[in-house]
Amino acid sequence: MKASFRFLASLVLLLPLLSSGLASTIPSDPGSTAEALTSAEGRESDICHKTHCYPRVFTPTMEWQVIEPDQEIPPGAHIRLNMQTGVRECKVNIPGEGSEYKAVAVELPPNEGSASVVVVSAEEAPAPSIKPPPPPPNDDPYGAIKVPTTAQSEELPFTDAVSVILDSKSFSDTKLNDALFSLEGLVHEMYWGLQIATPKSVNALLNLVHTSTNPSIRKSAALVIGSALQNNPKALKNAINGGGKIEVRLIETLLVALEHETDDSARLRIMYALSQGIKSNRTYEDFIRIGGIRKLLDLFQKADTDGGEFKGKVSTFVEDNFLNDDMKTEFPSQKDRHKPNTPHDKQKPLQPNSNEPNSQSLTTIQDVLQFCRPLQEALLNSESNGITGNEVKIKILNALAAMETKYGRGALNCVHLQEFDQWFSRQISGERDVAKLEGAGEWFKIRALEVKDTLVIS
């Protein structure tokens, strides 16, 4: 009796298949699926490349199929994106899945022209074998990243933009700029920052930063990288460690791009990405290993076309990552790596021959202290270099003051230029009451008075 029921069920389901010419699968709602397929088939134009052609409008089936980058997708289809490969796949969306019949399988045995239909009921269907995900590590220092409430509506714009970035050579600069602009608005969220921070996606963005001939694209790609990594240690860790055999030379590529960049605005964005990318032990060591401090010093001394903006960014970078221990508490295991040879003591500055252990090598310290004279010269010659804004001057002054706070005046020959002492004294002459100056808006003089004792200026 049970076998007869199966045979009758097979015949009932086989008749619609024969009449419609379909020999693949039967969804729970065949009417809506047929309508979607017919609508898609009605659009005739094809897209042809050198090696192959395919329909302009993708025709979904009951199985996942790869979507070409420039294919159109009919409304109502079910889309997914492989974040490791960047490949988009599509199938028919079946709202009634999970009802009386779990699945319909159509088999064509070898060397036979007939099809057999096997219907598996919900009761008889074997339970899917799902491997549970491994439990999260108990010592995760970063905590969980919550899925934003807007994730569902943002998923399609995100996946579309990522697919454009991953296949950038197939799209115009206008399309690339649109995709980057879309990502800029999303990756500030930690969730989307983590989603974009796959080795494949980061390498695609780095390629745009390094090789695009359009400065707008270089600038936007660097901004996406920096925004995704800012205050997002999980994203940074995933970007550099999550790809298995895929190598991501984050720091090296950004430094090379920085050295060759000719556009002032793009240079600032690349510097921003570098500032966010160095916030891990591995990327920090990469920066040291390839001589990043010396490279930045060279760029600092050459920059003279943007009103000092780049000099200000570099000054803050050096202060935050090499001079100010308080800035290292954001990520685990970073605070302890910046201990100097001796505690700060102006009467007992750092000595090259010290036997005290430290996590910064003497070579690194010497490289950092090479900024001592250029920082003074940048302030001393601020007017001739076009540095008129107080904000830039304060950034440079802060780096110089942090250097003396950390290592002491005269450490490893970091001494003041006589001209700088005279110039600095003129800046703080006259009104000596910081409280009175606050109302006048003389912010550089206020900061100068605050660090006067640190710089030992009489």
Distances (CA, A) of 304 to 309, 382, 386, 416: 9, 10, 8, 22
Q: What CA–CA distance (Å, rounded) separates 337 from 148?
A: 35
Residues 316-322: what's their mean pLDDT? 96
Residues 228-248: what's their mean pLDDT? 88
Q: What CA–CA distance (Å, rounded) separates 146 from 142?
A: 12
Select the more confidently predicted residue: 144 or 185. 185
Residues 97-114: what's their mean pLDDT? 42
Segment 338-390, tens digit of pLDDT: 444 333 333 344 444 333 333 568 889 889 999 999 999 999 998 888 888 89
pLDDT band at 117 (very low <50, low <70, confident <90, very high): very low
The average confidence (pLDDT) of the chain is 77
> Facing residues of 106 across strands?
117
Residues 308-330: what's their mean pLDDT? 85
Task: Please name the residues in contact with 26: beta carbons below 8 A apart, sequence gap of 6 or more.
Answer: 13, 16, 17, 104
pLDDT band at 299 (very low <50, low <70, confident <90, very high): very high
- Among 306, 314, 316, 206, smallest CA distance to 256 is for 206
Domain boundaries, the chain: 1-28+96-123, 40-89, 151-368
pLDDT for residue 411: 60
Percent of the chain with pLDDT over 70: 69
pLDDT for residue 442: 84
- CB-CB contact of 282 with 239 (8 Å): no
Q: What CA–CA distance (Å, rounded) separates 315 from 423?
A: 20
Q: What CA–CA distance (Å, rounded) separates 163 from 204?
A: 10
Select the more confidently predicted residue: 306 or 410. 306
Q: Classify residue 176 by burial, with Cβ atoms within 10 Å: 0-12, 13-18, 19+.
A: buried
The helix/strand/coil state of 53 is strand
- CB-CB contact of 63 with 78 (8 Å): no
pLDDT(16) > 70: no
> Facing residues of 72 across strands?
57
Q: What is the pTM of this model?
A: 0.65
> Lowest mean pLDDT: which of 222-231, 253-262, 442-451?
442-451
For the domain spanning 151-368, the CATH number is 1.25.10.10
pLDDT for residue 386: 83
